[in-house]
Amino acid sequence: MSEKILIVDDEDANLRLLTQWLIPLGYDVEFASNGEEAKDSTYE
Amino acid sequence: MAREKSLTQSREYDENIINTVREPLIVLDQDLRVVSVNRSFYGIFKVKPEETVGQLIYDLGNKQWDIPKLRELLETILSKKTTFDNYEVEHDFAVIGRRVMLLNARQIEQAWGKERIILLAIEDITERSRLENLLVESEYRYRHIFETASDGIVLFENSDGHIIQANKAAENMLGYSEAEYVGKKLPDIGVPLGMNDDFPTIMRDLDKIGVLNYENVPVKTKVGQIIYTDLYLVDRANFIQCNIRDMSERNKLEAKLRYAQKMEAIGTLAGGIAHDFNNILNVIMGYSAMVADTLETGSPAKEDMNEVLIAAERAADLTRRLLVFSRKDVVTMMPVDINEIILGLKKMLGRIIRESIEFNIELADMPLTVLADAGQIEQVLINLAVNSKDAMLEGGRLTISTGLQELNDDYVEAYGYGKPGQYALITVADTGQGMDAETQKKIFEPFFTTKGIGEGTGLGLAISYEIIKKHSGYTNIYSEPGQGTVFKIYLPFSEEAASLEKEKETAAPVKGGDETVLVAEDDASLRKLATIVLESFGYSVITAVDGEDAIAKFMENRKRISIVMLDMIMPKKSGKEVGEAIRKASAGVKILFVSGYTMDIIKGKELAEAGSDFIHKPFTPKDLLIKVREILDR
């Protein structure tokens, strides 16, 4: 199981940039657009 | 009666004489009983007249005077001699403490009564003796300091400047033996103080001030080496003391400090401007690209815009390289095989060097794994190769070799740096013009360059040095003018890392594409994930939030859509229903079903049998990308 990284950014462009970077390095990613979403994600 | 009277008179006369004598006097009869003492005796030895006269001398002051050396004087020595001078007696008196005394003794034959008397004059030399001891001690201390000082010390006459003595440190520092020092003057031993013309001036100044100090004076040793020293001249009455302090070590440390400060300044500057600078470059590059897109391929204006883009990229690259000096640099340390890096660079290095240069690679026959940022190590190798090329204008040979090297304690001792252990050693050797020691010293300094204006930034080697330092490695240079140059780079060998590297190697590459994907998914966060992931890898994405929306969006965009990603369970229409509807409208469309529940899996099996693809939740972005690409490439 690869390590998962939660990326929090309200700019989709930045989410895309990081995804482009992290996936080839073997990481799993998850996104949140704001602090609230990020908090919910970490509780799951 | 007359005789009685004259006797009394004579006694009084004697008493008067002895009382005028400042030092203590004591008169004893031949049985060593006290006949008389002077006032000074009472004063100094704190005894009372009634306890003194008529007493045996040894019994004085509660037998305080029972001194073995005194007995020896009175009983042994004076039985053979009538006088004895400067007899030294040291005694600890109960009342007045330790005293050092010089005794002068006289035996006097008295005409009257034919009795012999002994006159003892006592000189208290306690204070004088103490001062003498102090002097001896002080001389001893001075001698000790002189002999053990780390400063070279030479003493010379203040009259003519001839050296009379030199210490061990001076012998070691300048290479002359003490015998060689004696009789010479300071200029004869390589100390450039004007001992002929200026000597009187120097002596006059010294007389006025007491100490003269000269800083950073180049002194030539016996073998002709120049060492930089601080000199101190100290007036020591009959002679002058000259301290020679070797400052080489301090100068070296100062140079190191200056270097470190320079690096830090560049780092701070780069770190401070990099962010803003890159933002500006982003604007330049972004708008240039936009403008370039509107121009006809092959038009002169497009060529010009490309030049702008290339220049902006070079500027970005320079900022990135300068960041090496700051702590803000992001270094991604991964286990890498040095040999692999060099093999990967072989083509590029071959292009960098000219055809007139023979290029050899000699790699160790084992993998040399180190924890490193491969990109940065590549940069170091490129920098070194460029340097070698520039040093071999007439052609020559460039050899890059690797090996495993142990840095043992002896090495660390000999070179004054390093942590003992196994190192991957990269040697970059050229047969170029080489360089002298002075250039070698400066070669790693930022902005130092031997190249002409516009040919080099003077940053290549400084950056390389800094990169290797960040990798806990060492850079060494061996060169002589005309003899070529050898750079040696030591990187800590990592056995542990070698296995990790293999795991990484098995990771499958992720490929993207430029097709359009319809993503039908009712869960907003999953929809976003799929969208972002697919977009990141170049796909265009159209989203739908339920089954009906999915059918509507497909109908609107059917010409563009290459693949539809359908969640099995959605409001309004299930994935299966949507799939059937889409197939009806456009038979050849590719569909990827996403299943999340056991129920779906059963349905998924049916679908799979019907030739459809599916992916299980939860899936990683990578799984999705691989799956989508695989289906599209079929």
Instruction: State pLDDT tens for residues B248-269.
Output: 888 888 887 787 777 777 777 7
Say if residue B495 is exposed, middle or buried (CB neighbours under 10 Å; 0-12, 13-18, 19+): exposed
Q: How confident is residue B402, by pLDDT bands cut at 50, 70 and 90?
A: very high
Q: How confident is residue B424, by pLDDT bands cut at 50, 70 and 90?
A: very high
Helix ranges (DSSP H) in B295-424:
300-322, 338-352, 374-391, 409-415
- Chain B positions touching A9 (Cβ under 8 A) are none
- Chain B positions touching A2 (Cβ under 8 A) are 620, 622
- Chain A positions touching B532 (Cβ under 8 A) are 12, 15-16, 19, 31
Which of A13-22, B317-326, B367-376 has the highest average model confidence (pLDDT)? B367-376
The CA angle B311-B315-B320, to the nearest 5 degrees, is 145
Whether residue A25 is predicted with pLDDT greater than 70 in this model: the reply is yes
Say if residue B305 is exposed, middle or buried (CB neighbours under 10 Å; 0-12, 13-18, 19+): buried
Q: Return the number of CB contacts < 8 Å for A and B.
A: 43
Would you tell me which residues 476-515 of chain B have a C-beta closer than 8 angstroms to some C-beta of chain A?
504, 507, 509-510
- Chain B positions touching A37 (Cβ under 8 A) are 525
User: What DSSP string runs through B128-178?
Assistant: HHHHHHHHHHHHHHHHHHHHH-SSEEEEEETTT--EEEE-HHHHHHH---H
Q: How confident is residue B594, by pLDDT bands cut at 50, 70 and 90?
A: confident
Whether residue B600 is predicted with pLDDT greater than 70 in this model: the reply is no
Per DSSP, B102 falls in state E
Instruction: Quote the pTM value.
Output: 0.40
Nearest-neighbour CA in chain A from B372: distance (Å): 16
Nearest-neighbour CA in chain A from B488: distance (Å): 32
pLDDT at position B453 = 56
Whether residue B283 is predicted with pLDDT greater than 80 in this model: the reply is no
pLDDT at position B532 = 85
Q: If you measure CA to CA, which chain B residue comes closest to A38?
A: B525
Instruction: State pLDDT tens for residues B151-183.
Output: 999 999 888 888 999 999 999 999 999 899 998
pLDDT at position B32 = 87
Question: Is beta strand B369-372 parallel, antiparallel or unpaired with respect to B334-337?
Answer: antiparallel
Whether residue B194 is predicted with pLDDT greater than 70 in this model: the reply is no
Instruction: State pLDDT tens for residues B45-63.
Output: 888 888 888 888 888 877 8
Whether residue B290 is predicted with pLDDT greater than 80 in this model: the reply is no
By three-state DSSP, how is residue B48 classified?
Answer: coil
Instruction: Enter the ipTM.
Output: 0.72
Q: How confident is residue B110, by pLDDT bands cut at 50, 70 and 90?
A: low
pLDDT at position A9 = 84
Whether residue A40 is predicted with pLDDT greater than 90 in this model: the reply is no
Interface residue ranges in chain A relative to chain B, Cβ cutoff 8 Å: 2, 12, 15-17, 19-20, 23-24, 26, 28-31, 33, 37, 41
Among A22, A30, A41, the strongest candidate for a mutation testing the B interface, having the largest count of B CBs within 10 A, is: A30
What CA–CA distance (Å, rounded) separates B109 from B238? 52
Say if residue B2 is exposed, middle or buried (CB neighbours under 10 Å; 0-12, 13-18, 19+): exposed
| Per-chain mean pLDDT for chain A | 80
The CA angle B504-B509-B515, to the nearest 5 degrees, is 160
Whether residue B318 is predicted with pLDDT greater than 80 in this model: the reply is no
Say if residue B59 is exposed, middle or buried (CB neighbours under 10 Å; 0-12, 13-18, 19+): middle
- Chain B positions touching A24 (Cβ under 8 A) are 509-510
Higher confidence at residue B258 or residue B543? Answer: B543
What CA–CA distance (Å, rounded) separates B100 from B103? 10
Q: If you measure CA to CA, which chain A residue comes closest to B536?
A: A16
CA B622 remoteness from chain centre: 47
C-beta separation of B513 from B629 below 8 A: yes
The CA angle B536-B541-B545, to the nearest 5 degrees, is 125
Whether residue B501 is predicted with pLDDT greater than 50 in this model: the reply is no
Interface contact flag, A23 B533, Cβ < 8 Å: yes
Whether residue B326 is predicted with pLDDT greater than 70 in this model: the reply is no
Q: How confident is residue B584, by pLDDT bands cut at 50, 70 and 90?
A: confident
Interface contact flag, B537 A23, Cβ < 8 Å: yes
pLDDT at position B504 = 41
Higher confidence at residue B28 or residue B198? Answer: B28
Whether residue B490 is predicted with pLDDT greater than 90 in this model: the reply is yes
pLDDT at position B499 = 44
Whether residue B323 is predicted with pLDDT greater than 80 in this model: the reply is no
Interface contact flag, B621 A23, Cβ < 8 Å: yes
Interface contact flag, B621 A15, Cβ < 8 Å: no
B536 and A CB contact within 8 Å? yes
Residue B379's CB is within 10 A of a number of other CB atoms, namely 18
Give the residue among B613, B528, B521 at the shortest CA–CA distance from B567.
Answer: B521
Q: How confident is residue B489, by pLDDT bands cut at 50, 70 and 90?
A: very high
Residue B145's CB is within 10 A of a number of other CB atoms, namely 12
- Minimal Cβ distance to A12: which of B509, B532, B622: B532
What value does the mean pLDDT take over residues B525-539? Answer: 84
Q: How confident is residue B486, by pLDDT bands cut at 50, 70 and 90?
A: very high
Interface contact flag, B510 A23, Cβ < 8 Å: yes
| Per-chain mean pLDDT for chain B | 82
pLDDT at position A32 = 87
C-beta separation of B425 from B403 below 8 A: yes
Residue type for position B339: N
Nearest-neighbour CA in chain B from A5: distance (Å): 11
Interface contact flag, B536 A31, Cβ < 8 Å: no
Q: How confident is residue B111, by pLDDT bands cut at 50, 70 and 90?
A: low
Among B536, B543, B622, B627, the strongest candidate for a mutation testing the A interface, having the largest count of A CBs within 10 A, is: B536
